[in-house]
Amino acid sequence: MKNTILFALATLAAPLAMAQQTDAVTPVGQSVSKEEAETTMAELNQFLNDMLAAFESVTDRTSADAAAEQLLTILSGSADLQQKLDRITNDPEMCQAMLPYILQAVVDNGVRSAEIINKIKSNDYFGSDSLREIMEKLAKQATPQEPAI
């Protein structure tokens, strides 16, 4: 169960990890305000909740296709959030200060996301090729890649 929960969280976070990086990243050593970091953590929580809500809405083919469209909309804004998260991770002090927020997100969303994702997969994505494609892409992005030799 623990691996399923971690995989589900990684699947939800994959769009952030794979978002294009830009010059907006905070240079190492430049600080981020606590207010900015807390706002970013709230945005991360909303992002995860929005993705989970889209997954939770799936009950049949029609709702699965609709969820796929919702997910595309949610994912389209992930690059901006990734930039903000990069600013925090490049500030070691603020990164440490935000650790409790991150751990709380894991606790709040872990079991819930694992159950939802397993339900959708066990029902063969409710026949939605669009949802299957999105979820498989997210799962692939969440899976650690072997280093090139």
pLDDT exceeds cutoff 70 at 12: no
The CA-atom distances, in angstroms, between 137 and each of 4, 14, 58, 142 are 17, 9, 18, 9
Confidence of residue 15 (pLDDT cuts 50, 70, 90): low
Which residue's entry shows tokens 């409710």? Answer: 126
| pTM, 2 dp | 0.75
The model's pLDDT over 84-113, given as tens digits with 9 standing for 90+, comes to: 988 888 888 888 888 888 888 878 888 788
Cα separation of 80 and 61, whole Å? Answer: 31
pLDDT at position 54: 96
Which parts of 33-122 fold into alpha helices (H)?
Answer: 34-56, 61-76, 78-89, 92-122
* Residue 108 structure tokens: 């709040």
